[in-house]
Structure 1
Amino acid sequence: MTQLGTISQFLKDRDGPSRFISGVTSMTNSDSRWLSEHVYLDDNDIPRCAPDFNIENNLDEISVMLSSYDTMLRNQYHRKMRYYKGDHETIRDRIQYTAIDPEKNRIVVNVARNLVNTFSGFFIGIPPKITYAPNSDKKINQTRVDLVNEIISRSLSDSDSDDVFYELAKKADIYGRSYLVAYIANDDDKTLKFTHKAPENAFIVYSNNEESRPMFGFTFDSVDNRQFGMLHTPNNIYKFNSDDLESSGGFEASLKWKNNIFRNVVGMEFITELPENDERLGMFDDLVSLIDAQDKVLSEKIDDNDNFSNAILLTKGVAEFTAEQKQEIKHWRVMQVNNTDPNVDPEVDYLDKPNADGLQENSMKHLSDKIYDGSQVVNLADPSISSAASGFALTQRMQPMEMVAATKAEKMRKTIKRLLNIILRYNGFVNDDVADILRDIKVEFTPNVPHSEVDESTIVKNLNGIVSKRTLISYLSRVQNIDDELKAEEEEAEKRMTMFSEPDSEEGALNDDQDEPPKGGDA
């Protein structure tokens, strides 16, 4: 094999810098697209099957499907999380070229975590507002409105939704997708709760037609080739455990045990997906080569610092070192050159070393800029951010990140509404009612950015009398709930009217006295 062939094979075996990009597995080998006989992966690593496929009639495919997913995708997702945590395998496996080289530095610039945490804090650092507010022309009973809002509020509170939604959004940034899973709490066997899952431990199979309907899904753990978890279908939830195989007569038989089957009480999937985008690309999937290069440049820079601290003494025209001393040149940090001309005086001096600090600093800056530009995330460590004095200037700098956040908000809004669909059905609402309620539910996302209160107050002052009060209040970032603020203002107005309309009250008497003209003055 040629040298070029060897390198190509090496990159292929390691999956190169594209190992994180979705669809690589299914595009490299047509035989690897299939998770089972009826389920395959499309070009974005989305499991699909025919719209008439019934998994409950093909339970024998589950074991194969889970095993294939474990090999083809789960390991890939696990590497993404390791990368987010700072375990960058390229710099970790940095090669020492010779035995006498000093130990190579392996410095990690964990920009992957910084990108994800910065964007997550910006996108959902302020929890989304979820309210049911039907139009007044629908003439819906206020009691019903209050009931729906109470059910939603209680369900969100039971599951600490602010934390769940944050982790759900963060996992989507890391993996390119994440999952929201509803379940019945074990403490009372009736409270509906929900949590977040990574694609390492969950996936959904969709139909391969235009509707792209969720057909069934899995939540599971896989340890040492053993799988255990749940299969979610529109009708039932099946509990599986590969440890039951020998005692039950096979995987399919273990799924059919009565104590392993639970009725799906809401008549739909308990699991729903949040895609980062349609391509299921994570935030740093296509930036891995840049991040690896940044690790390499910084590690080499630290290598150079070590070399300067390990200065080598050069001797000329002095007695020759012994063989043992020559072997320990790295330890003694002395290099000896024999004198070939007896007329040259002996010389002892330190070697001058090349300085590549400027080149390395430029490389670091260019790589950092390309990483943040590619992710469309603002580098908050950039000094120009802190110099943006006005709110408008800061907004301009954050506009690329706001565009990405707006796109993701649409994806997450759909996911949250699917969760609300489950919550409402579980609490007794029927199909038509649920559909009607969901149309009037608002899920609002507020970017977590610094605000200039002076700029906001100026806008409100200039627009007063031109737009509605609701619109005016929406410009004030300190106001968390516009409806509550409007209601509070109405209550204060009513209180003032009552206070000054009662002539017997102390305030009313005081007001009457102030209305009388002073003695000796004009009426």
Structure 2
Amino acid sequence: MAVVIDKDLLGDVNEPNIKAINYAIRELQNRKKRLDKLSDYYNGKQEIEKHEFDNATVEAANVMVNHAKYITDMNVGFMTGNPVKYVAEKGKNIDDILEVFNQIDIHKHDIELEKDLSVFGYGYELLYLKKTDPISVRDELGNEKLTPNTELKIEVIDPRATIVVCDDTVEHEPLFAVFTQEKKDLDGNTNGYSITVYMPQRIVEYRTKMSMEVSANDPIVYDGENLFGAVPIIEFRNNEERQGDFEQLISLIDAYNLLQTDRISDKEAFVDAILVTFGFGLDDNEDIKRLNRGAIEAPPREEGADIEWLTKSFDETQVNLLSQSIENDIHKISYVPNMNDEKFMGNVSGEAMKFKLFGLENLLSIKKRYFFDGLRRRLKLIQTIVNIKGANDDASGCKISLAANIPSNLSDVVNNVKNADGIIPRKYTYSWLPDVDNPQDVIDEMNQQDAETIKKNQEALRGQDPDRLELEDKQDDSSENDKETGSNNNQSHRTRAV
């Protein structure tokens, strides 16, 4: 989550300001508790682990049903199951940018980034240049020489170790970013921190001794140029409030786990119940042996003697109803449907499925808007680097689209495409088809398929009735000659008229 400060307090934004850097680090430390809790809930380290059962003789079952992970994994799959599509504005080129995306497997990167957005409410990615083997080039005289070479990389970085500082204008333009990394010795003990400050034109790395905050005496281990011309750490938001997808559901998740834990613990307490005798006592020797063998009937010593278990009765139906109610609230508030619900049957129509997923689609439409803000900044930074290397890309006005990975009825889609043919251009209707990145490619393939079909039909006719095909060819030639003669006659008439 970005920190907002007055830009005038920094002076030169490309000169490290120790006071501002430490202020950002303190803000980052203040948020760590919240972020750690969200991470723990996703990883299954939830509040139910601390629960203790009232019965000292029965150990608490501590059942944990990880709804937090379910909600995040489903949202990540719905959101980034299909890759993001980029289409350059008419007359512009982004081929080199798309080539970079292919090389770094940007789809996998986006999945990891969306997971952070879903868990923490925001996420960060770092763009950097990695040195590779130098390339051999020849100068004008033909002499071979080696020139340095770099490779553009993009990595998702932990929001618990990263913070971006923006100005206090309405645009919140990034001023600098700080990335912290704990350093340990070979015994596993912390012996300082690496603090990297990313400024628009400069990158500086400090090495602290013990504290995370930077002092003027801490050595600078790296000081280099930032070729991106802007802060190369991009903040992505999950929503306006920067909240995780399950953050508001933690109380419901805890209540569900507590209820399930108590149900299991009650079952164990039921098995380990107290045995009560009426009208007689048990001999320490023979009677106890009989009980251990399972003979627990009351000995016929006195009239009215009896023996039974002392148990706590509970209404399992009411407990199950409460459990379902809490689970329904979890899915209702998160907008993530319960795919194990009997209402989600395999024979429902595409339109019926759309209504069941209406809340989820609304949620994803909001998430996409904020996600695209970060993608546009990513395009701008990559454009700077590829153009430095000699390309001529222009990502301004680039169209970004993302199809949610939601089940669709393919037969309904195909019927809609067929019914719209002749009414809506095929370039638009073919885009309705799933897994179609470029509708024009489908149009070209259909044209090629039609041409091959016509050719096969002609060859089939030639094989069945060659005389007929020869006659049709002669008629076609005759028609062409008539057209040419008519055209010459018309030209002659026009000449005379002139």
* Bucket of the pairwise TM-score, normalised by the shorter protein: 0.7 to 0.9
Partner of 1:439: 396
* Segment drifting more, 72-81 vs 62-71: 62-71
Equivalent position SS for 1:427: helix
Partner of 2:324: 365
Partner of 2:225: 263
The equivalences for 1:423-434 within 5 A come to: 423-428=382-387
Query: Is the Cα–Cα contact under 8 Å of residues 3 and 166 in structure 2 kept in the other structure?
Result: yes
Query: Is the Cα–Cα contact under 8 Å of residues 125 and 154 in structure 2 kept in the other structure?
Result: yes
Note if 1:456 corresponds to 2:456.
no
Partner of 1:153: 98
Partner of 2:376: 417
Q: In the aligned structure 2, how far is the partner of 1:194 from the partner of 1:226? A: 26
Partner of 2:481: none
Q: In the aligned structure 2, how far is the partner of 1:393 from the partner of 1:85? A: 34
Counterpart code for 1:439: S
Cα distance change, pair 407–429 in 1 and its aligned pair in 2 (3 A): farther
Structure with more of its chain in strand, by fraction: 2
Q: In the aligned structure 2, how far is the partner of 1:304 from the partner of 1:96? A: 9
Query: Is the Cα–Cα contact under 8 Å of residues 388 and 394 in structure 1 kept in the other structure?
Result: no
Q: In the aligned structure 2, how far is the partner of 1:229 from the partner of 1:514? A: 85
The equivalences for 1:166-315 within 5 A come to: 166-188=111-133, 190-222=150-182, 224=190, 226-243=192-209, 251-254=215-218, 257=220, 259-315=221-277
Cα distance change, pair 192–314 in 1 and its aligned pair in 2 (3 A): same
> Which residue, out of 348, 351, 358, partners 2:307?
348
Cα distance change, pair 206–508 in 1 and its aligned pair in 2 (3 A): farther
Query: Is the Cα–Cα contact under 8 Å of residues 51 and 208 in structure 1 kept in the other structure?
Result: yes
Q: In the aligned structure 1, how far is the partner of 2:452 from the partner of 2:80? A: 37
Q: CA deviation at 1:191?
A: 0.7
Partner of 2:475: none
Q: In the aligned structure 1, how far is the partner of 2:461 from the partner of 2:346? A: 53
Cα distance change, pair 220–319 in 1 and its aligned pair in 2 (3 A): same
Equivalent position SS for 2:160: coil
Q: In the aligned structure 2, how far is the partner of 1:57 from the partner of 1:174? A: 34
State the TM-score, normalized to the length of structure 1: 0.75
Query: Is the Cα–Cα contact under 8 Å of residues 179 and 272 in structure 1 kept in the other structure?
Result: yes
Query: Is the Cα–Cα contact under 8 Å of residues 80 and 405 in structure 2 kept in the other structure?
Result: yes
Segments of 5+ residues of structure 1 without an aligned counterpart are 1-44, 326-330, 336-341, 519-523
Segments of 5+ residues of structure 2 without an aligned counterpart are 134-148, 184-189, 473-498
With CA pairs under 8 Å and 6+ residues apart, which has the higher RCO, 1 or 2? 2
Cα distance change, pair 455–423 in 1 and its aligned pair in 2 (3 A): same
Q: In the aligned structure 2, how far is the partner of 1:398 from the partner of 1:290? A: 22
Query: Is the Cα–Cα contact under 8 Å of residues 175 and 281 in structure 1 kept in the other structure?
Result: yes
Query: What's the % identity of the aligned pairs?
Result: 20
Note if 1:85 corresponds to 2:50.
no
* Segment drifting more, 420-429 vs 108-117: 420-429
Q: CA deviation at 1:451?
A: 2.1
Q: In the aligned structure 2, how far is the partner of 1:160 from the partner of 1:221? A: 25
Query: Is the Cα–Cα contact under 8 Å of residues 28 and 163 in structure 2 kept in the other structure?
Result: no
Cα distance change, pair 512–398 in 1 and its aligned pair in 2 (3 A): farther
Cα distance change, pair 95–304 in 1 and its aligned pair in 2 (3 A): closer
Note if 1:164 corresponds to 2:102.
no
Q: In the aligned structure 2, how far is the partner of 1:114 from the partner of 1:346? A: 55
Q: Which has the larger radius of gyration?
A: 2
* Segment drifting more, 377-386 vs 164-173: 377-386
Q: CA deviation at 1:177?
A: 0.2
Query: Is the Cα–Cα contact under 8 Å of residues 66 and 227 in structure 1 kept in the other structure?
Result: no
Cα distance change, pair 225–290 in 1 and its aligned pair in 2 (3 A): farther
Q: In the aligned structure 1, how far is the partner of 2:24 from the partner of 2:283? A: 65
**Count of residues paired in the alignment:** 435
Q: Deviations over 1:278-335 (max 9, x none)?
A: 111111111110000000000001012112222432211223788xx9xxxxx99999
Q: Deviations over 1:456-511 (max 9, x none)?
A: 121112111110011221222243432322233344556678x59xxxx9689669
Counterpart code for 2:168: N
Q: In the aligned structure 2, how far is the partner of 1:334 from the partner of 1:442? A: 80
Q: In the aligned structure 1, how far is the partner of 2:348 from the partner of 2:430? A: 24
Partner of 2:495: none
Cα distance change, pair 266–343 in 1 and its aligned pair in 2 (3 A): closer
Query: Is the Cα–Cα contact under 8 Å of residues 158 and 193 in structure 1 kept in the other structure?
Result: no
Partner of 2:280: 318
- Over the aligned positions, Cα root-mean-square deviation in angstroms equals 3.4
Q: In the aligned structure 1, how far is the partner of 2:444 from the partner of 2:218? A: 57
Q: In the aligned structure 2, how far is the partner of 1:109 from the partner of 1:333? A: 37
Equivalent position SS for 2:9: coil
Cα distance change, pair 225–73 in 1 and its aligned pair in 2 (3 A): farther
Q: In the aligned structure 2, how far is the partner of 1:351 from the partner of 1:97? A: 17
Query: Is the Cα–Cα contact under 8 Å of residues 244 and 254 in structure 1 kept in the other structure?
Result: no
